[in-house]
Amino acid sequence: MTTPVLDLHHVAYAYPGGHQALFGVDLHVHPGESVALLGPNGAGKTTLVLHLNGVLRPGHGSVHVSGLPVTEDTLLEVRRRVGIVFQDPDDQLFMPTVRDDVAFGPANLGLRGAELDARVVEALEAVGVADLADRAPHHLSFGQRRRVAIATVLAMRPEILVLDEPSSNLDPTSRRELAEILRSLRTTILMVTHDLPYAVELCERSVVLSEGTVVADGPTRTVLADEDLMRAHRLELPVGFAI
Whether 144 is covered by a domain: the verdict is yes
Whether 237 is covered by a domain: the verdict is no
| CATH assignment at residue 160 | 3.40.50.300
Whether 243 is covered by a domain: the verdict is no
In the predicted model, what is the mean pLDDT of residues 4-30? 96
Distance CA 205, CA 33 (A): 8
Residue 242 confidence class, pLDDT cut points 50, 70, 90: confident
Give the CA distances from residue 11 to residues 31, 52, 59, 215, in Å, rounded to whole numbers and listed in that order: 21, 11, 7, 15
Q: Given this model, what pLDDT does residue 175 score? A: 95
Whether 241 is covered by a domain: the verdict is no
Q: First-to-last CA distance in the chain?
A: 30
Does pTM surpass 0.85?
A: yes
Q: What is the pLDDT of residues 146-179, one digit of tens each?
A: 999 999 999 999 999 999 999 999 999 999 999 9
| Residue percentage of the chain with pLDDT more than 90 | 94
Whether 86 is covered by a domain: the verdict is yes
Whether 17 is covered by a domain: the verdict is yes
Q: What is the pLDDT of residues 57-67, one digit of tens each?
A: 999 999 999 99
Distance CA 84, CA 94 (A): 16
Domain count, the chain: 1
Q: What is the pLDDT of residues 42-86, one digit of tens each?
A: 999 999 999 999 999 999 999 999 999 999 999 999 999 999 999
| Residue percentage of the chain with pLDDT more than 70 | 100
Domain that holds residue 147: 6-232
Q: Given this model, what pLDDT does residue 1 score? A: 64
Give the mean pLDDT of the chain: 95
Whether 66 is covered by a domain: the verdict is yes
Closest CA to 137 of 177, 102, 182, 181: 102
Whether 151 is covered by a domain: the verdict is yes
